[in-house]
């Protein structure tokens, strides 16, 4: 697709309908130099009011930060990092932890990412710029695993947990695209990477809010939530996911993800109903009924 779009863009460099999908294709292929070459057309499209062009332009401006980084690779990961400092000194360990995460999650779930996953290590200030500093997150996955060593306080345990967590997001994206809603996506990432959250803290957060977050809220990016709701969203997602697995078994999650992977046009709600005999919002209502 990129080759055809590039030929069309060469013939009509000012046509928004061509340059926007071309830049998006280059970005998805991690061809940052090529994507940045399309900036003039994207800027014009953004100035004319195109929201997709504006979002993509902002993303590419952030990607430009990475062009001066060095790259280290392993069999299944490609890590961009500053040439000097803690990131350069730690990149070998980061690759080891990522390969270990791939092996351990594969052993637990039977799912293994096949594509080489891009990873970026930032200095603290540039991480905040590149990600928009989403609620003080340790790491982010948006097509690339992005993180700052400073945010893990250089803790080996915290670094490992964060990398496993973000790898799970990358794995789910490869398997299902964006069809797994945030509550299950985050729930699985916490379930597979961390000891989990204390149920007493969930009860406290629910008591404070006086109601559980609804399915519509949990199906949108948590970045859009007010900061005071983010903690409840993560705790609720984890316990909804954990209780789902404990009630029905991991094999149902495996079948759900397998159906989404095998059928690119399958919707999440349809696949969920097929496995659990109820809609996701019905499960949420039944689940939250134990607290209210």
Q: What is the pLDDT of residue 65?
A: 75
* DSSP codes joined into one string, 81-135: E-SSSHHHHHHHHHHHHHHHHHHHHHHHHS----SPEEEEEE-HHHHHHHH--GG
Q: How far apart are CA 33 and CA 57, in angstroms?
A: 13
Q: What is the pLDDT of residue 133?
A: 67
Q: What is the pLDDT of residue 134?
A: 61
Tell me the whole-structure pTM to 2 decimals: 0.84
Q: Is the pLDDT of residue 121 over 80?
A: yes
Average pLDDT over residues 168-177: 96
CA angle 253, 254, 255 (to 5 degrees): 90
Q: How far apart are CA 48 and CA 53, in angstroms?
A: 9
- Residue 116 near residue 77, CB atoms below 8 Å: yes
Q: Which residue has the higher pLDDT, 31 or 212?
A: 212
pLDDT digits (tens, 9 = 90+) for 17-36: 999 999 999 988 878 889 99
Q: Largest Cα–Cα distance of the chain, in whole Å?
A: 62
Q: What is the pLDDT of residue 135?
A: 63
Per-residue HEC secondary structure of 164-232 comes to HHHHHHHHHHHHHCCCCCHHHHHHHHHHHHCCCCCHHHHHHHHHHHCCCCCHHHHCCCHHHCCHHHHHH
pLDDT digits (tens, 9 = 90+) for 83-100: 988 999 999 999 999 999
Q: How far apart are CA 182 and CA 177, in angstroms?
A: 12
Q: Is the pLDDT of residue 220 over 90?
A: yes
């Amino acid at each position: 697709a990129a080759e055809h779009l590039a030929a069309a863009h060469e013939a009509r460099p000012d046509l928004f309908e061509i340059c926007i999908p071309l830049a998006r294709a280059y970005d998805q292929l991690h061809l940052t130099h090529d994507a940045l070459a399309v900036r003039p057309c994207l800027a014009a499209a953004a100035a004319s009011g195109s929201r997709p062009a504006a979002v993509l332009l902002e993303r590419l401006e952030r990607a430009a930060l990475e062009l001066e980084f060095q790259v280290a690779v392993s069999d299944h990961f490609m890590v961009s990092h500053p040439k000097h400092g803690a990131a350069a000194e730690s990149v070998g360990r980061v690759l080891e932890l990522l390969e270990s995460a791939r092996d351990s999650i594969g052993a637990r779930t039977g799912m293994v990412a096949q594509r080489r996953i891009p990873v970026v290590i930032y200095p603290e200030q540039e991480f905040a710029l590149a990600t928009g500093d989403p609620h003080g997150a340790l790491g982010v996955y948006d097509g690339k695993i992005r993180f700052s060593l400073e945010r893990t306080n250089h803790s080996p345990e915290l670094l490992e947990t964060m990398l496993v967590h973000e790898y799970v997001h990358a794995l789910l994206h490869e398997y299902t695209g964006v069809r797994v809603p945030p509550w299950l996506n985050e729930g699985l990432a916490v379930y597979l990477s961390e000891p989990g959250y204390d149920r007493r803290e969930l009860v406290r957060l629910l008591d404070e809010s006086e109601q559980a977050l609804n399915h519509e809220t949990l199906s949108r990016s948590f970045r859009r939530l007010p900061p005071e709701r983010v903690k409840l969203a993560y705790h609720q997602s984890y316990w909804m996911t954990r209780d789902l697995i404990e009630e029905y078994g991991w094999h149902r999650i495996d079948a759900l993800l397998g159906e989404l992977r095998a059928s690119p046009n399958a919707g999440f709600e349809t696949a969920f109903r097929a496995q659990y005999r109820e809609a996701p919002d019905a499960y949420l209502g039944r689940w939250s009924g134990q607290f209210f």
